[in-house]
Amino acid sequence: MAVLLTGNEHSVELRPVGYQFSATSGDSYDDNWLIIGGRVTTPDGSWSFSDPVLLTDEGRRLSRWLRAAARGRVAVAQQDREGGWSPSLTFIEPVLAFSLVGRTDGAVRVRVHLSLEASPPWRPDTEGDLAPYEVEIELTEAELLRAADEWDRELLAFPVR
């Protein structure tokens, strides 16, 4: 299984695949980079990626954020001066990020920001351009909580080293 955020015509599936380096070196960063496999489906097309984009502790932050978003404890994202959206959950690598679009009657709209290695292959490869491809997904609170639980189960195989 993998964590699956799906709704409307969009889906984002994420799965921790393994550590970037099989052997530990004593470096808290190098020892804890996780390769995340992703599959994304939108009306524009589908694609997949697999890259070291999260540290083990960042992976655990994701499930906490999903739970907080489901329970109404994450602020709705606001547009910045340039018209972009500022994610409320970011990581060291700017490949994945998350924001809350809104909540209505038990439904939660989440935005997944995908940059660099996680961008769709048809986007121009502009070096240094971190503008994310954004996917909005509407889920129920229960679906978001299930996604958080599944993500935690997936991470059990990857403790902090």
Asked if 77 contacts 96 with a C-beta cutoff of 8 angstroms, the reply is: no
pLDDT reported for residue 89? 97
Confidence label for 22 from pLDDT (cuts 50, 70 and 90): very high
Tokens 């589908």 found at:
46
138 — phi, psi (to 5°)? Answer: -105, 125
pLDDT reported for residue 80? 80
Confidence label for 145 from pLDDT (cuts 50, 70 and 90): very high
Domains of the chain, CATH where assigned: 3-155 (2.30.31)
Give me the mean pLDDT over the 52-74 stretch. 97
pTM (two decimals) = 0.92
For residues 158 and 17, what is the distance between their CA atoms, to the nearest angstrom? 9
pLDDT reported for residue 20? 97
Mean pLDDT of the chain: 92
Does the pLDDT at position 156 exceed 90?
yes
Which of 148, 80, 79, 81 minimizes the C-alpha distance to 108? 148
Does the pLDDT at position 47 exceed 80?
yes
